[in-house]
């Protein structure tokens, strides 16, 4: 099994020195890559900027922006059997990136923001016989929102977690299928949750 994993945050630059991003540590995605390697999968990691070493033995692709994550994953996906999208992708970017550095004006400034590409949704549209597992980070109406995301992005399964997971060592997740049923609940260190998820997928998706 050859599996693509997206991990970490992406960055969207306002000018050459400032960017928008989020506090994702990349730990969940990196733990999934390590767990996949342990069960003998070939792992392809596309990661935004994080403070972690790529697990030894994976194929590593470093990206910065959402657009870069999109183009790397779209190139790599055709040679994979499935994808697990654990990245905390930046949903908006400034309409324009200023060359150089925006100077202070002494007053408020306004930024016009536009949506970035939805990497997972694009993978979902080209998946054919490959499997697609998304993540859903939900603060309210978690199950309904997660199922809506699964359907909108053409996923086979979605891993529901809570914003508390961002930057944490542990996680508590629910694995939801396309009928909206909860297949599994796992709580523990991200490495333990990752091992449960990869073991489950290796039994069901082979």
Write out the catalytic residue numbers: 22
Nearer to ligand CTP, 41 or 135 (CB): 135
**DSSP string computed for 28-58:** HHHHHHHHHHHTT-EEEEEE-S-SSPPPTTS
Nearer to ligand CTP, 35 or 85 (CB): 85
Asked if 140 and 162 count as a contact pair (C-beta separation under 8 A), the reply is no
Q: Where are the beta strands (DSSP E) in the chain?
A: 2-7, 12-13, 19-20, 42-47, 59-62, 82-85, 92-94, 113-115, 131-137, 157-161, 170-177, 182-189
Binding site for ligand CTP (CB under 6 A): 6, 66, 85, 87, 89, 91, 116, 118-120, 134-137, 149
User: Minimum distance between the CB of residue 185 and ligand CTP, rounded to whole angstroms?
Assistant: 18
Nearer to ligand CTP, 91 or 192 (CB): 91
């Amino acid at each position: 099994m050859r599996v693509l994993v997206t991990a970490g945050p992406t960055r969207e630059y306002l000018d050459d020195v400032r960017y928008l991003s989020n506090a994702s540590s990349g730990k969940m995605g990196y733990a999934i890559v390590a767990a996949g390697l342990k069960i003998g999968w070939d792992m392809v990691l596309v990661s935004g900027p994080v403070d972690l070493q790529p697990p030894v033995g994976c194929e590593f692709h470093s990206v910065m922006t959402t657009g870069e994550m999109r183009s790397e994953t779209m190139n790599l996906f055709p040679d994979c059997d499935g994808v697990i999208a654990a990245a905390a992708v930046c949903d908006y970017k400034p309409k324009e990136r200023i060359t150089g550095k925006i100077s202070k004006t002494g007053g408020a400034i306004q930024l016009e923001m536009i949506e970035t590409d939805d990497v997972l949704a694009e993978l979902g549209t080209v998946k054919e016989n490959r499997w697609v597992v998304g993540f859903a980070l939900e603060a309210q109406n978690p199950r309904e929102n997660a199922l809506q995301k699964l359907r909108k992005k053409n996923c086979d399964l979605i891993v529901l977690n809570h914003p508390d997971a961002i930057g944490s060592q542990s996680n508590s997740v629910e694995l939801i299928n396309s009928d909206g049923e909860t297949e599994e609940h796992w709580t523990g260190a991200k490495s333990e949750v990752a091992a449960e998820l990869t073991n489950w997928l290796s039994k069901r998706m082979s």
